[in-house]
Amino acid sequence: MNRDLALSFGHDAMPKVLTQVQPWAQLLEGLLEAVWLVDAQSLQIVATNQAAEFLTGVSNGLRLGHNVLELACTPEDQMFWHEALQGSVSGLRSETLLQHADGHLICVLRRASLISDGHGGNFWMVVFQDLTEQRRARQEHETLLAELRATLESTADGILVTDLFGRLRAFNQRFSKLWDIPEALVAQRNDQAIHDWMQHSVQDGSRYDTRLQSIFETCETQTSDIIKLQNGKVLERVSLAQKSHDQNVGRVFSFRDLSESLEANQRMERMERNDLLTSLPNRRTLSDRINYAQALVRREGGSFGFLWVNLDRFKQINGCLGQSVGDRVLCEVARRFEGALRAVDTLARLGGDEFGVLVYGADAAGALKTAQRLQDALSEPFQLELLRFTVTCSIGIAMFPLDGMSCDELLLEADRAMHQVKCNGCAGYRLAQPRKNEDLLARMRLDQAMREALRCGHFVLHYQPQLNLLTGKVIGCEALIRWHDPQTGEIAPGSFIPVAEASGFIIAIGTWVLREAVAQAAQWVEMGMQMPVSINVSPLQFQQDDFVASVEAALLSKGLRPALLELELTESILVHDIDDAFVRLQALAKLGVRLAIDDFGTGYSSLAYLKRFPIQRLKIDRSFIQGLPGDKSDEAITNAIIQMGRALGLRVIAEGVETQAQRQFLLAAGCHEFQGFLYAAALAPAQFCERLRAGGLQAPYAELQYVV
């Protein structure tokens, strides 16, 4: 007991206070928490401990003898001590403020309990717990949560956070909006009810549930799925493992609505494949169907006809009556022609006043009958308002395989026959004239020369590098066949490949390319270079019963890892016999080789087979790259292909890239890879390796993965 305390209580009370407080003072010093001992009658502080001194910055001696009412910082404190003085309260536990010696306020948890010394003396024991750090941590936590909520709500994607057992921990409003979850269900925060709602909202609930269980059970680091809802929405679901201290603690799911982009792509696809005026298939679609019909005839035999139809003196209608009337005439002609054809036939508008008709499974007689029906369809006069007039047409007919072995040859022969009708007075039709014997002999000689070239080793493979657009790293190459004839020199592939396909010799060439490319890739592996090699596969080669076995045998013979071989397939292969193609592609995928679609955009370009078949890469045809940037049509098609590929999780590579401007456009559009003269032409194996070293773009020597 010090001098200040004696003065406060008076000289007479000092021995008594010493006697009463001394035991408590020793006890207080043993406590870790800050404590005041307050006389219940005078409300004066009679004892404190060092913890209290540390908390308030005031020495015990200076605090002793003070009335607690002087130290009260809140109205609540004042009220409590007034009531305590009157003996009307028994205890207190609350958060309050305590003033530090330097003037700042300390947030504390205060507990006040009334105790007795057993000799008639009553005291209040006031215990303080410093809440400063707790409040700071809580405030930081609340700030972090607020920022997290703001981040979740600011994203355009729906976000769902769960624990390892699928229990909901957080989600944003965009998530509930994408899934149309009722507000009442959101307010309940019932995990099972929300999961049930999501399962019932998808088109295939059982498959959705199985996949979701697989994600949680296998603990995949990242997953990506396409989900179709009952209301027609198409969502992309991406999930990532959520980690804390290198341990999985949950998953974060993000949902993005792909409906609008897919619908836009489909509209663009329809616009690119149909005539805007008549809604008929356009020239590109017609070419695809002719290619399909050719493959069918090569496989099953038979023939088909192609009719080139040109309206007679149509320029006079446009010139005299105006373009709007001319457009109405074209639409009416299209309607009449459609009524004269079978459902299996294809009517297309080639441009201007020209139409094309593909007559499936027809011989010459059948094609002639079709031409007559088209003539008859125009026999009835046209009536537009007060105008009444007659329209006639001239038709040229070409037969496959008699008049042409390719789509271009067939159209050319039909066009020539149509012009012969025009020269003879119009309003008629005729078959194409047989080709000259010299043409047939030239094909026969070329076919024989190819067989000799393969036997004598005149074919070689060159390799064109394929690069990652973002990093500039070489990630693979495409094997391209070259023919050097000792007498005539270099022979372009475009000259002999069509003849090889028509004669069936393309199977032997394709087998040689497969073995040679695998051997080269294996040799590079021995050199320490993991270089994936892509080869083109012809439809006829793909349809052979032993094709998958031949691929496996080629890999085993050289010990090449299947992932280093990529097969580039044309779109016609995939739609010729969908079920058979699916079985073969599944077998190839199981084998481990990579699969790509070559010249994507020039064929059927159907989302159906892209989703169904195990394809890893789309290759944009060079015809769409040549006009970049600047050609709006090429830009739109290229962008559509890239976005569709990315939406389906496929790699997209552009071929025929020759300028930096093209490369920059593709990079900005999100294309993954490219090949073309901008980096290098197709090179001999030694030149290929030398070019890599000289360019400083070494292929990766570690396990090669496609960069996402």
Does domain 3-130 match CATH 3.30.450.20?
yes
Residue, of 12 and 387, whose pLDDT is higher: 387
Provide the pLDDT confidence category of residue 58 given band limits of 50, 70 and 90. Answer: confident
Q: How many of the other CB atoms lie within 10 Å of CB of 543?
A: 18
Q: Which two tokens stand for residue 367?
A: 């094609």
Which residue ranges make up each domain of the chain?
3-130, 151-257, 264-435, 446-695
The angle subtended at Cα 585 by Cα 582 and Cα 588, nearest 5°, is 150
Query: What is the C-alpha to C-alpha distance for residues 368 and 473, in angstroms, rounded to an integer?
Result: 57
Residue 15 in this model has a pLDDT that exceeds 60: no
Residue 16 in this model has a pLDDT that exceeds 70: no
Residue 9 in this model has a pLDDT that exceeds 70: no
Residue, of 574 and 223, whose pLDDT is higher: 223
CATH number (3.40.50.300, 3.40.50.1820, 3.40.50.2000, 3.30.450.20) of 151-257 reads: 3.30.450.20
* pLDDT recorded at residue 568: 95
State the DSSP code for 381.
P
Tell me the average pLDDT across 210-238: 85
* pLDDT recorded at residue 384: 81
- The chain-wide mean pLDDT, for the chain, equals 84
Continuous segment of H or E residues that includes residue 638: helix 632-647
Whether the model pTM is above 0.75: no
Q: Is the peptide bond before 381 cis (omega within 30 degrees of 0)?
A: no
Paired sense of beta strands 234-244 and 247-257, if any: antiparallel
Neighbouring residues of 650: CB distance < 8 A, sequence distance ≥ 6: 610, 615, 616, 617, 618
Residue 71 in this model has a pLDDT that exceeds 70: yes
The CATH architecture assigned to 264-435 reads 2-Layer Sandwich (3.30)
Residue, of 186 and 176, whose pLDDT is higher: 176
Residue 65 in this model has a pLDDT that exceeds 80: no
CATH class, 446-695 region: alpha beta
Residue 624 in this model has a pLDDT that exceeds 60: yes
For residues 290 and 372, is the Cβ–Cβ distance under 8 A? no
Mean pLDDT check: name the lowest of 52-66, 109-123, 168-182, 634-648. 52-66
Bridge partners (DSSP) of residue 463 are: 479, 683
Provide the pLDDT confidence category of residue 397 given band limits of 50, 70 and 90. Answer: very high
Provide the pLDDT confidence category of residue 439 given band limits of 50, 70 and 90. Answer: low
Residue 277 in this model has a pLDDT that exceeds 50: yes
Residue 586 in this model has a pLDDT that exceeds 90: yes
DSSP 66-117: -BHHHH--SHHHHHHHHHHHTT---EEEEEEEEE-TTS-EEEEEEEEEEEE-
Q: Which two tokens stand for residue 273?
A: 């494949």
Burial of 207 (0-12, 13-18, 19+ CB in 10 A): exposed
Share of the chain above pLDDT 70, in %: 87
Residue 141 in this model has a pLDDT that exceeds 90: no
Neighbouring residues of 569: CB distance < 8 A, sequence distance ≥ 6: 537, 542, 595, 596, 597, 598
* pLDDT recorded at residue 39: 85
Question: Which of the residue ranges 171-185, 235-249, 577-591, 673-687 has the most confident prediction, judged by mean pLDDT?
Answer: 673-687
Q: Is the peptide bond before 498 cis (omega within 30 degrees of 0)?
A: no
* pLDDT recorded at residue 706: 36
Question: Which of the residue ranges 6-15, 68-77, 151-160, 355-364 has the most confident prediction, judged by mean pLDDT?
Answer: 355-364
Q: Which two tokens stand for residue 444?
A: 């026969």
Q: Which two tokens stand for residue 6?
A: 């004696």
Query: What is the C-alpha to C-alpha distance for residues 359 and 368, in angstroms, rounded to an integer?
Result: 10
Residue, of 573 and 226, whose pLDDT is higher: 226
Helix axes 493-503, 506-526, angle to 10 degrees: 120
Query: What is the C-alpha to C-alpha distance for residues 321 and 315, in angstroms, rounded to an integer?
Result: 10
Tell me the per-residue pLDDT of 24-40, one tens digit each, with 9 for 90 and over.
Answer: 776 777 788 888 888 88
Q: Quick check: do 3-130 and 151-257 share a fold?
A: yes
The owner of tokens 């229990």 is 167
* pLDDT recorded at residue 264: 60
Residue 12 in this model has a pLDDT that exceeds 50: no
Where on the phi/psi map is residue 348: left (φ > 0), alpha (ψ -120 to 50), or beta?
beta
Amino acid at the residue 468:
N
Tell me the per-residue pLDDT of 514-529, one tens digit each, with 9 for 90 and over.
Answer: 999 999 999 999 999 9
Tell me the per-residue pLDDT of 306-341, one tens digit each, with 9 for 90 and over.
Answer: 999 999 988 888 778 888 888 999 999 999 999 999
